[in-house]
Structure 1
Amino acid sequence: MEEVGREVGRVTHYYSKIGVAVIELKAPLAKGDTILIKGSTTNLEQKVESMQIEHKDIERAEAGQAIGLKVKDRVREGDVVYKIS
């Protein structure tokens, strides 16, 4: 498998009605970063435009935090999140 970037976390839940993924972070993530979410049937690349912790908008999150991230397409629990820029 080719290297796609640095793993920053994993999807732990997906809210399909609102298009939000809950991601448990292993590394920092900030608004403006470009991420790739990959899984057996997932391959979604997008810029981080909206993230929240406990329903409050944030600009940056650190390793160990669980964030809500607005995503443009369906993702699945267990999908890996990579930071590509």
Structure 2
Amino acid sequence: MAGNETELMLRGYGLTTAEFYYHMPDYAHVLNSFIWQDYDIAPDHPRLFKFIDFWQKEIEGPLHSVRFTHRREIGPGHWRNVTGEIPLH
């Protein structure tokens, strides 16, 4: 993924924030959390699922659950047709 943040947003990327809950390797009954953010494309979220695959293959703490949200920062502009103006004093 090349380009700065503005270019990514113009190409349809939005900020995805995910909170991973995972078990500590040495303490199976303890849940810990990890926050991850990256620019991704909804609804498929390829970067998020690539990171989840990486976690499951490379990190010892098994995942309990993942919560995520996606916000597209730049969207189509809102346009209104103004037919009149009322001046106040």
TM-score normalised by structure 2 residue count:
0.31
TM-score normalised by structure 1 residue count:
0.32
User: When you count strand as a share of all residues, which structure comes out higher?
Assistant: 1
Q: Larger radius of gyration, structure 1 or 2?
A: 2
User: When you count helix as a share of all residues, which structure comes out higher?
Assistant: 2
